[in-house]
Amino acid sequence: MASISLRNVTKTFGGNVQAVHDMSLEIAHGEIVCLLGPSGCGKTTTLRLVAGFEGPTAGELWIGDRLVSSSRTLVPPARRNLGMVFQDYAVWPHKNVLDNVGYPLKVRKMSRSRIRKRATEATALVGLEGLEKRYPEQLSGGQQQRVALARALVAEPEALLLDEPLSNLDAKLREKMRFEIMDLHQRLGLTLVYVTHDQAEAMVLSDWMVVMNRGKAVQVGTPWEIYRSPSSPFVADFIGLANFLPAQLVERNGQQGIAEIPAAGSQRVECSLASEPSGSLPVPGVLFVRPEDVELSSEGEADIEGTVTRATFLGARLDLRVDVGGAEWRAEAPPGADIAQGQAIGVKAQRAIFFEKEEQTDGETADA
Amino acid sequence: MNRVLAFARAPFDLLRSPTLAGRLVGLAAVALLVVLTAFPLGVLFHRSFEREAQLSLQNYVEVFSAARNYQPIWDTVKLGLWTVLLAAVLGVPLAWVVARTNMPRRRILENLCLLPYMLPPFIGAMAWIQLLAPRSGYINQLWMSLMGTRDPLFNIYSFGGMVMVMGFYSFPFVFIAVRGALERMNPSLEEAASICGARTLRVARDITVPLVIPSIMAGMMLAFLYTVSNFGIPALLGMRARIFVLTTRIYAYILRGDMVGIQLATALSVVLVGLAAIILIVNRWVISKQHGAAIISGKSVRPTRVELGRWRYPFALGVYAVVGLMVLAPIVALMLTSFLRAWGLPLRWANFTVRNYEYILFEFPLTRAAIQNSVMLALVAASAAVVLGTVLAYIVVKTRTRGRQAVDALVTLPNAIPGTVVALAMILAWSGRFGINLYNTFAILLVAYLSYYTFYAFRNAAAALAQVHPSLEEAATISGAGSGAVMRDVVIPLIRPGMLAGWLLVFAPTLRELTISILLYGPYTPTIGVAVFDLQDAGYFHIASALAAIIVVVIVGINLVMRKLLGGRARAM
Ligand SMILES: Nc1ncnc2c1ncn2[C@@H]1O[C@H](COP(=O)(O)OP(=O)(O)O)[C@@H](O)[C@H]1O
Ligand SMILES: [Mg+2]
């Protein structure tokens, strides 16, 4: 078991593609950390830097107290003692399950009987007992994924790296595997770096996570912190559902303030500030409100009212779109609520974060 | 047997085609296929069991009891095995260099490796004779004068010579198969091994090589079939050393011209086909035993390349030296000889001339007739093959005619059979015994070419047709077009590039065909291949070279056109 430390790591391809930019992370023993971000943001490259398939253009990478990568040194992947699960499984088609799983031990020149014993144990650990003699072509996608997992675990690596390991599985299986991976992590106490573009997966798994965009770590924190207090509109938009309401900051008191929403009859909303305002009040910007933080009330009970333009039943809740003075608010209600399209409804933003104007143009919004 | 039964149903299904024209064209094409291929090959098989008009095993008894008959079987196998070994030794590392290293100018290397694939092997044999004939070969002369010895470096007229030249002309089969596999192999399979702790060589041994083996074997099998079917190389290099393989033994028996000779040639032909069939079956069996043989396919990936670092340029130099000697040296020798006043003269400015070209193009009756004949044959054969191949492809790909798989098999069959055997089948079927005598005519050559080469036109048309989605035809029908109009306005325009490629793929090899022609040409119908072969065999190297040089230039030109046409997908013949 070991910690992993990235210190100002940058990776540039072909002189101009900056895949990873000045990334610093300190991952302690036994933590699960997710790298989350839209496709092409540099997650795989970061993981491959840790694995040693790529060397950094600048910066240093440490595993435990060993410097493994810098612009001058590069310990080859074979000597890093890591386990890795690839997005496409990479289970070898010419080896059966047991030979796939036992390969890391064979390379370490273990005796045949011990390889057999430990590979069988690892195979059982991922729930594949009885399939040891099968070849990959006789296995389902989920089973191949488990083989890949067992192979990555069998040699008791310093850390386990997973690159979107569940993205090729169907939704049900994905959910199941998610919990199995958590379970394994708890039992074995592994350090785990997990790449995904699926925010739900990251939320479930992570001790803490890294939201990436265009090669940069834009926010680092626990799932709760990131969900509740996104540091930029990009993060707010990428994780969960978000309302962005044009607003003005009219009062300020330290990290708190009051903003007015012009489209909603200048409703005044208490909010926290994402950053120091750069100019003097009033400051133009957007107010970020989660749908579940929009308080709904019956007609006539609230200051501000809108019209329900769409009510969609989503099983666990009712998803609402409400037109408030020309702006669309997303809100939610319990599934059985008696709310119909076209009905007037009172809205109030309960908990909000204010982002200054520049930040929104600066932070690219992602299609989550 | 099922296929035969299904095939018998094809005419009935074709008769149900909605239009009269459709019925006639379909039936005519299938009938032509039967006459061209099924009938002659059937006759050949039957005749191999016949002596003095009686059913008998006598031919086979003689084949397996006389050394002059069974020795060629053994030598064919031996030549095939050694050649395939050499082809693998050359093809696998070159494929690796092209697919997996950062050696400079890999595209040029790749094209050099594909060059032998398009050139006829007998021209290769000629060129290597010019380099390594015991006394007069350029390399041997250089060697003897450098070393001050009277012993040549290497005698090309030998079993070793046959293996060498055959290997140089068949390694592209291995090269192409392995390069494809290495390029398409998912890099994470190898990365997974290195993260498991395996170092570079270990990864190659445990992962890369086992995964590429099915492709190596597929390439080796093609090279083996190519070798045992080849006539030109053993004829030019082996016969002089009294080494006979099956193709040349069959040729010698047919030349003898008597009845028993033909009978023995027939039995040997069946043995040769059997040999090819065994290889195909064994290969298929071995591949079916390999796990994951089918895994390497589909999407292309970004393969990890080995960084050669500071060895990049020295390495490239070495590779180019080997490939240059192997591929370019013979072509250069051929070109030089074609400008010599006479073979054997030292390479001095005063000895160079363009007389040979004038002679073959404007004066010498044999070469003039050969050029005329071959051009005519190639034009007619290519055009007829495209028409026939397209109709058959339409039947196989676009209709539900029962027995269409049998049609497919029957078009493909002759191409899997050595040309020598196809030619003999033509002789047996079309020299009067069944009321039609085409012997010594232009027609028998045409019939044989069509039987052997329609496959290329068929395959290209079928591939193109498979791309034409049924809804395109249906859309035309719903717009009111009759089936003729659908063909003319929708189908043909869409498959035209495939048809054109098919035309060129038939035209190029028939233009210089040797194996079939040498058994079927008559006094008035020499072909270019035959002319080059005879001139070379008679020792007129400089004249033969001029004609061969023209062929090489024309064929390379056709291949460049074809590559433009198919956007790099074309694999030359
Ligand atoms: N070997 C490479 N050569 C050039 N560009 C690369 C290479 N690998 C990745 N990239 C580029 O780096 C960026 C980040 O890629 P990647 O790390 O694979 O993203 P993600 O895994 O987040 O989808 C992309 O723009 C990608 O095109
Ligand atoms: Mg990725």
- What's the pLDDT score for residue A8? 95
- B254: helix, coil or strand? helix
Q: Which residues contact B49 (CB under 8 A, 6 or more apart)?
A: B55, B56, B57, B59
The Cα of A92 is separated from the nearest Cα of chain B by a number of Å equal to 6
**DSSP state, B349?**
G
Taking an 8 Å cut-off on Cβ atoms, the answer to whether B188 and A88 are in contact is: yes
A63-82 average pLDDT score = 92
pLDDT tens-place string over residues B27-49: 888 888 888 899 999 999 999 99
The Cα of B455 is separated from the nearest Cα of chain A by a number of Å equal to 34
Comparing CA positions, the residue from B200, B160, B236 lying closest to residue B544 is B236
Quick one: which atom of ligand 1 is closest to the CA of A14?
A: 4
Cα–Cα distance, A343 to A308 (Å, whole number): 6
Cα–Cα distance, B390 to B396 (Å, whole number): 10
Beta bridge partners of A319: A312, A332
Cα–Cα distance, B200 to B305 (Å, whole number): 12
User: How many Cβ atoms are within 10 Å of B443's Cβ, its own excluded?
Assistant: 15
Phi, psi of B155 (to 5 degrees): -100, 115
Taking an 8 Å cut-off on Cβ atoms, the answer to whether B192 and A92 are in contact is: yes
pLDDT tens-place string over residues A138-184: 899 889 999 999 999 999 898 999 999 988 888 888 888 888 888 88
Alpha helices in B133-186 (DSSP H): 138-147, 159-184
Phi, psi of A210 (to 5 degrees): -120, 120
Taking an 8 Å cut-off on Cβ atoms, the answer to whether B192 and A86 are in contact is: yes
pLDDT tens-place string over residues B107-153: 899 999 999 988 899 999 999 999 999 988 999 989 998 988 888 89
Ligand minimally distant from the alpha carbon of residue B187: 1
Cα–Cα distance, A348 to A354 (Å, whole number): 15
Task: For chain A, say whether B184 makes contact (Cβ under 8 Å).
Answer: no
Residues of chain A in Cβ contact (below 8 Å) with chain B: 51, 53, 76-84, 86-88, 90-96, 103-104, 107-108, 135-137, 148, 151-152, 155, 161
Cα–Cα distance, A346 to B75 (Å, whole number): 96
User: How many Cβ atoms are within 10 Å of B53's Cβ, its own excluded?
Assistant: 6
Quick one: which atom of ligand 1 is closest to the CA of A54?
A: 1
- A322: helix, coil or strand? strand
Cα–Cα distance, B199 to B183 (Å, whole number): 21
Both tokens of B146, joined, read 């450098």
Distances in whole angstroms, Cα of residue B457 to Cα of each of B391, B500, B505: 10, 9, 7
Establish, for the pair of chains A and B, how many residue pairs have beta carbons separated by less than 8 Å: 78
Closest alpha carbon within chain B to A153: B196
- What's the pLDDT score for residue A365? 45
Residue A286 C-beta-side C-alpha neighbours within 13 Å: 19
DSSP assignment of A122-191 = HHHHTT-TT-TT--GGGS-HHHHHHHHHHHHHTT--SEEEEESTTTTS-HHHHHHHHHHHHHHHHHHT-E
A-chain CB neighbours of B208 within 8 Å are none
Q: In this structure, are residues A252 and A334 in contact, taking their beta carbons and an 8 Å threshold?
A: no
User: How many Cβ atoms are within 10 Å of B77's Cβ, its own excluded?
Assistant: 16
pLDDT tens-place string over residues A200-244: 899 999 999 999 999 999 999 999 999 999 999 999 999 988 899
The Cα of A162 is separated from the nearest Cα of chain B by a number of Å equal to 12
pLDDT tens-place string over residues A92-142: 988 999 999 999 999 999 999 999 999 999 999 888 999 999 999 889 988
Cα–Cα distance, B389 to B381 (Å, whole number): 11
Q: In this structure, are residues B396 and B462 in contact, taking their beta carbons and an 8 Å threshold?
A: yes
Taking an 8 Å cut-off on Cβ atoms, the answer to whether B210 and A78 are in contact is: no
**DSSP state, A74?**
B
- What's the pLDDT score for residue B293? 53
Taking an 8 Å cut-off on Cβ atoms, the answer to whether A94 and B292 are in contact is: yes
- What's the pLDDT score for residue B472? 86
- What's the pLDDT score for residue A277? 78
Cα–Cα distance, B294 to B449 (Å, whole number): 34
What CATH number labels B59-292?
1.10.3720.10
Residue A15 C-beta-side C-alpha neighbours within 13 Å: 0
A-chain CB neighbours of B186 within 8 Å are 88, 90
Closest alpha carbon within chain A to B212: A94
Task: For chain A, say whether B195 makes contact (Cβ under 8 Å).
Answer: yes
| Minimum-distance CB partner of B195 among A82, A96, A135 | A82
Q: Considering only CA atoms, which residue is closest to atom 26 of ligand 1?
A: A40
- What's the pLDDT score for residue B6? 65
- What's the pLDDT score for residue A366? 42
Q: Considering only CA atoms, which residue is closest to atom 12 of ligand 1?
A: A19
Angle at B524 between CA B518 and CA B527, to 5 degrees: 40
Cα–Cα distance, B95 to B572 (Å, whole number): 17
Closest alpha carbon within chain B to A136: B292
Q: In this structure, are residues A84 and B192 in contact, taking their beta carbons and an 8 Å threshold?
A: yes
- Three-class DSSP labels, B265-305: HHHHHHHHHHHHHHHHHHHHHHHHHCCCCCCCCCCCCCCCC
Quick one: which atom of ligand 1 is closest to the CA of A47?
A: 17
B-chain CB neighbours of A83 within 8 Å are 195
Residue type, B231: F
Q: Which residues contact A24 (CB under 8 A, 6 or more apart)?
A: A6, A7, A8, A9, A217
Angle at A190 between CA A187 and CA A196, to 5 degrees: 110
Give ion ligand 2 contacts, CB < 5 A.
A 44
Task: For chain A, say whether B297 makes contact (Cβ under 8 Å).
Answer: no
Q: Is the pLDDT of residue A189 over 90?
A: no
User: How many Cβ atoms are within 10 Å of B1's Cβ, its own excluded?
Assistant: 5
Domain segments of chain B as ranges: 59-292
Q: Which residues contact B420 (CB under 8 A, 6 or more apart)?
A: B229, B231, B246, B247, B250, B251, B269, B272, B515, B516, B519
Phi, psi of A304 (to 5 degrees): -110, 140
Sites in chain B below the pLDDT cut of 70: 1-8, 15-20, 292-302, 567-573
Mutation target among B189, B195, B207, B212 for the A interface, most CBs of A within 10 A? B195
DSSP assignment of A268-297 = EEEEEESS--SSSSSEEEEEEE-GGGEEEE
Peptide bond into A282 cis (omega under 30): yes
Q: What is the distance, to the nearest Å, from the Cα of residue B78 to the centroid of all Cα atoms in its chain?
A: 20
Residue B512 C-beta-side C-alpha neighbours within 13 Å: 27
- Classify each residue of B524-537 as buried b or exposed e, where b means 16 or more C-beta atoms within 10 Å of its C-beta: ebbbbbbbbbbbbe
The Cα of A84 is separated from the nearest Cα of chain B by a number of Å equal to 7
- B502: helix, coil or strand? helix
- Classify each residue of A302-331 as buried b or exposed e, where b means 16 or more C-beta atoms within 10 Å of its C-beta: bebbbebeebeeeeeebbbbbebeebebbb
Beta bridge partners of A285: A247, A356
State the pairing for strand pair B54-55/B50-51. antiparallel
Query: Which residues contact ligand 1 via a Cβ below 6 A?
Result: A 13-14, 17, 19, 37, 39-45
Q: Which residues contact B560 (CB under 8 A, 6 or more apart)?
A: none
pLDDT tens-place string over residues A289-336: 999 998 888 877 777 888 999 888 888 888 999 998 888 899 998 888
- What's the pLDDT score for residue B4? 59
| Minimum-distance CB partner of B196 among A88, A135, A151 | A151
Cα–Cα distance, A20 to A218 (Å, whole number): 12
Q: What is the ipTM of this complex?
A: 0.81
Cα–Cα distance, B119 to B553 (Å, whole number): 10
